[in-house]
């Protein structure tokens, strides 16, 4: 009886060990082939989160709507806005400033002149695609910043990120895929030993 039991245990050990080798090979394949993809997805998700947070909190990215700055800046481009010393503004700079008619909105136009009136400095602005200058002068205090980088059509992606489908696709799903990868890898690395433990030590 004991001989038969020992033989059965050896057979189970061989089967489990053979299966364990397959599991280990599969685990190595998952690690080598899928790991870089998972890391890329994770980096993309982190970058997407950064864009959402940056746009909401720090607002260095502005989405351009309209054609007033064509051909320099197109509609649906995104621009990176950096702070600038107001005394260092000069003609030719592309700036972002509050819309005098709607302070909740911003305008991206080029400085074509500077003027000082009653001790205050003003910027004269114009859109590259407009035939005439803006009908107002902008106090330098109302200039939010200077455009340093243009990201062609990135505004489409940013608007998509801020939508619910975009958030689910670009933020939630990547994190779920990473979690699934970790679960599968954990199973592949520990599944064979767990199976051996269950077979050799039966439930009472």
Structure confidence by residue, pLDDT tens digits, 79-137: 988 888 888 889 999 999 988 888 888 899 999 999 988 888 999 999 999 999 999 99
Residue 122 CB coordination number (10 Å): 17
With 90 as the cut, is the pLDDT of residue 147 above it?
yes
Cα–Cα distance for residue pair 45/175, rounded to 1 Å: 7
Q: Classify residue 121 by burial, with Cβ atoms within 10 Å: 0-12, 13-18, 19+.
A: middle
With 50 as the cut, is the pLDDT of residue 5 above it?
no
* DSSP class of 69: T
- The pTM for the full model equals 0.62
- Cα dihedral 38→43→45→50 (10° resolution): 170
The domains of the chain, with CATH numbers, are 2-57+161-200 (no CATH), 78-151 (2.10.109.10)
pLDDT category at 58 given cuts 50, 70, 90 is low
Structure confidence by residue, pLDDT tens digits, 10-22: 444 444 444 455 5
Q: What is the pLDDT of residue 54?
A: 66
pLDDT category at 197 given cuts 50, 70, 90 is very low
Q: What is the pLDDT of residue 36?
A: 76
For the record, the structure tokens of 66 come out as 């309209």
Q: What is the pLDDT of residue 25?
A: 64
Q: What are residue 13's phi and psi, to 5 degrees?
A: -60, -40
Q: Which residue has the higher pLDDT, 110 or 179?
A: 110
With 60 as the cut, is the pLDDT of residue 161 above it?
yes
Q: What is the pLDDT of residue 91?
A: 93
Query: Half-sphere exposure (CA, 13 Å, Cβ side) for 128?
Result: 15
Q: What is the pLDDT of residue 169?
A: 83
Q: Which residue has the higher pLDDT, 110 or 51?
A: 110
Of 123, 170, 171, nearest to 144 by C-alpha is: 123
Cα–Cα distance for residue pair 36/105, rounded to 1 Å: 42
In the chain, DSSP assigns E strands to 61-63, 78-82, 94-99, 102-117, 120-126, 137-139, 143-151
Of 166, 179, 189, nearest to 22 by C-alpha is: 189
With 80 as the cut, is the pLDDT of residue 155 above it?
yes
| 180, 101 Cβ separation under 8 angstroms | no
Cα–Cα distance for residue pair 142/148, rounded to 1 Å: 18
């Amino acid at each position: 009886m004991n001989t038969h039991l020992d033989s059965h245990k050896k057979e189970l050990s061989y089967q489990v060990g053979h299966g364990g080798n397959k599991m280990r090979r599969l685990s190595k394949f998952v690690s080598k082939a899928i790991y870089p993809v998972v890391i890329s997805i994770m980096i993309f998700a982190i970058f997407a989160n950064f864009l959402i947070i940056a746009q909401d909190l720090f607002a260095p990215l502005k989405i351009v709507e309209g054609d007033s700055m064509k051909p320099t800046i197109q509609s649906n481009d995104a621009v990176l806005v950096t702070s600038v010393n107001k005394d260092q503004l000069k003609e030719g700079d592309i700036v972002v400033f509050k819309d005098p008619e709607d302070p909740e909105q911003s305008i991206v136009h080029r400085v074509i002149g500077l003027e000082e009136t009653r001790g205050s400095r003003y910027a004269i602005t114009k859109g590259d695609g407009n035939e005439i200058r803006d009908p107002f002068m902008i106090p330098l205090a109302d200039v939010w910043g200077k455009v340093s980088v243009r990201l062609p059509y990135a505004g489409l992606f940013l608007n998509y990120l801020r939508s619910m489908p975009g958030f689910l696709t670009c933020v939630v799903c990547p994190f779920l895929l990473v979690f699934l990868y970790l679960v599968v890898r954990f199973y592949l690395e520990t599944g064979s030993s767990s199976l051996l433990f269950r077979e050799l030590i039966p439930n009472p």
